[in-house]
Chains A and B, each alone.
Chain A
């Protein structure tokens, strides 16, 4: 069994905005690309890659849900999920070899693949299903918070963020120190009432999610409608000619 370090002042993690995530999976693919090239471990394998039931290792996945509501139209919510770098990480304490560990300096939870025996206990212990056993290497894989990017001085400064944060076209993923209440991510969480996922599991996750904002409701009457009535004269000039010509086709 492996011990956790004393709680660190610095708690690096992600803040994920469920309001703006559009479910594009750019973060999923860029995560797999970066971590398959990483010197930290084996590539993330795909079994039966072109067959009937492909099954690969991903450190970050996006699940899409449809929510039907009493008031208002149904909505689709995209829910990205990766390791939450818990303060009381049960995947660490359960590990028989010390392979699964939490860093004392910044709280990142990692696996030392060289001493991982692939027993899978940590994946059972994680209430979020955030760990995946690699089908080819038989070692445990998980989100590294791109520890090999965020401190990497060979990368230009703006690139020293996790690959998923860098690639998200919607700006839905934020990286920073959630232990510092003045950090941009902590302020964002305070402002948007960010929440911890399943706090009842008692693992004290560091990552936070920002809830979807309330949707616009239909107004009772449409003040603009009278202005949108068709105009009878039709358009003049070149656009009018184009419209009439295309209308004949």
Chain B
């Protein structure tokens, strides 16, 4: 792929809190990591003249997303990254439609095709590690630009809510309780 078109690497990392706490409650974990800006290196930040509160359009060979940005200096100059698995579709996980995860949260999935581009041999190869079959997250290359002002206050693409298979979530959670 020509580097000029997609000069940056885009990475994701699943929050460590989630690895340590698979068995515990999303009500807690979402207070630890409830929003996920796109972290942009100081170099990219300066080059594009980003300011706090800005939104960016991130484009790969496969697609385009519109996301909130935040500056991070402890980052390779040609890299952007975000927390994986924070963004949720509205209605998912019994979250309220106003939940930050369903509005400002986003995923890089829309930028990644599950197949590699055609190579003229009539076959389409999976865009995954040939040995483990894991999705090729760390191969993602992108370009970035500042989103035009006046856009909506939610990440794009933005899908209609999905119907929840479970009843609406309670407002207040009091996990545990006196055992004596």
Chain A residues packing against B (C-beta within 8 Å): 22-26, 28-29, 32-33, 36-39, 41-52, 54-56, 58, 66, 68, 73-76, 135-136, 167, 169, 246, 249
Contacts and interface: CB of A to CB of B under 8 A. Distances in A.
The main secondary structure of chain A at its interface with chain B is loop
Interface in B144-180: 169-180
Contact of A52 (B21, B100, B170): B100
Contact of B27 (A33, A46, A52, A135): A46
Given A24-B17, A25-B16, A49 B178 contact: no
Given A42-B178, A49-B172, A136-B172, A66 B27 contact: no
Nearest to A66: B74
B72 A66 contact: yes
Contact of B24 (A29, A47, A74): A29
B30 A54 contact: yes
Contact of A46 (B19, B21, B172, B179): B172
Given A26-B20, A29-B28, A75-B74, A50 B172 contact: no
Nearest to A41: B178
Contact of A25 (B20, B93, B125): B20
Contacts of B31: 46, 54-56, 58
Contacts of B19: 24
Contacts of B169: 49-50
A73 B76 CA distance: 10
B34 to A, nearest CB: 7
A39 to B, nearest CB: 4
A52 B99 contact: yes
B74 A46 contact: no
Contacts of B99: 50-52
Contacts of B125: 249
B167 to A, nearest CB: 12
Contact of B17 (A29, A52, A76): A29
Contacts of B170: 49-50
B92 to A, nearest CB: 11
Contact of B174 (A43, A48, A54): A43
B126 to A, nearest CB: 10
Contacts of A26: 16-17, 20-21
Nearest to A76: B74
A23 B100 CA distance: 22
Given A37-B176, A43-B177, A49 B27 contact: yes
Contact of B73 (A58, A66, A169): A66
A29 B176 CA distance: 13
Contacts of A22: 16
B98 interface: yes
Nearest to B93: A50
A22 B20 CA distance: 12
Nearest to A34: B176
B49 interface: no
A133 B96 CA distance: 25
A20 B35 CA distance: 25
Contacts of A43: 174-178
A114 to B, nearest CB: 12
